[in-house]
Amino acid sequence: MSGLTRESVLRNCSEQEREKKVAVKKQTLAARRWRGFRKNRRGYYSLLIFSLLFGVSLFAEVLSNDKPLLVKYQGEYYCPLFKVYPETVFGGDFETETDYQDPYILEKLTSDGNKVVFPLNPYDYTSINLELDRPVPSPPAKENILGTDDRGRDVLARLLYGFRLSVLFGFALTLIGTFVGIIAGAVQGYFGGRTDLFFQRFIEIWSSMPELYLLIIFASIFKPSILLLLILLSLFGWMGLSDYVRAEFLKGRNME
């Protein structure tokens, strides 16, 4: 009986292992790679932390802003975060956009039953703390959790907005470079011949252009901006991928 029991246990174990192997083979390539990636704890948890920080940065205006989320003034509700109001709406004297950090306006918004709700960090990335009683850059304090820079601007707000801008810029640059690189490589590999020769010579000439000097020249001609930087970097960010795509298309042509 013990021998039969041992044999049945071994048979069940072998069947379970066989079923696991079959299940793994049935998984898609992406699922197998994701499963392997999850085994790398350092990379997996880094991805989780990065995703969390990026998700938080997407709501930067709600978490860190010098404009209130909600204002109750004389029985009416206002959302300055989504709409611009002149200060005359809140008892001011001018038709200019309301400065909600102005002590006079703040007194109007917090007196006589009026209420104002600010974000957790009441500073924008351009806001300057004019009430600092110490030289800038200032160390972390109650009003500025991570301190201020050399212009008195809140470091936490600038980190939050800057992180989002950097990640979105990288995503956009990668998408543009991937799209252009795939198209250029596919055209070279598919048509071949003179088309491939023309593109190869063009890439050789274009890749030899001094990218840094071009950036400096364009920055002196046009007003520096994120869009201009994205366009200039995209002009050079597609050539590496196009070579791999071209090689795969040429390989496919030779197989035919």
Evaluate whether residue 148 is within a structural domain. Answer: no
Evaluate whether residue 225 is within a structural domain. Answer: yes
Residue ending a domain, among 53, 86, 119, is 119
Global confidence as pTM: 0.79
| 70-73 vs 76-78, strand pairing mode | antiparallel
Q: Determine the Cα–Cα distance for residues 118 and 105; give it in Å rounded to an integer.
A: 14
Residues 188 and 238 in one domain: yes
Residues 168 and 237 in one domain: yes
Q: Determine the Cα–Cα distance for residues 234 and 175; give it in Å rounded to an integer.
A: 9
Listed as ranges, residues in the chain with pLDDT below 70 are: 1-27, 256
Domain count, the chain: 2
Residues 107 and 172 in one domain: no
pLDDT for position 253: 79
Residues 219 and 165 in one domain: yes
At 31, list the tokens.
């699922």
Residues 165 and 235 in one domain: yes
Evaluate whether residue 99 is within a structural domain. Answer: yes
Evaluate whether residue 179 is within a structural domain. Answer: yes
Angle of CA points 126, 53, 168, to nearest 5°? 65
Helix axes 193-207, 155-191, angle to 10 degrees: 150
Q: Determine the structural domain holding residue 73 and report its residue range.
A: 66-119
pLDDT for position 218: 86
Residues 228 and 171 in one domain: yes
Evaluate whether residue 208 is within a structural domain. Answer: yes
Contact 163, 53 (CB under 8 A): yes
User: 206 to each of 5, 150, 219, 237, how far by Cα in Å?
Assistant: 73, 40, 19, 11
Contact 114, 108 (CB under 8 A): yes
Evaluate whether residue 52 is within a structural domain. Answer: no
pLDDT for position 91: 85
Residues 113 and 178 in one domain: no
| 115-117 vs 70-73, strand pairing mode | antiparallel
Evaluate whether residue 133 is within a structural domain. Answer: no
Q: 153 in helix, strand or coil?
A: strand
Q: 148 in helix, strand or coil?
A: strand
Evaluate whether residue 33 is within a structural domain. Answer: no
State the alpha helices, DSSP H only, in 40-154: 41-57, 60-63, 103-110
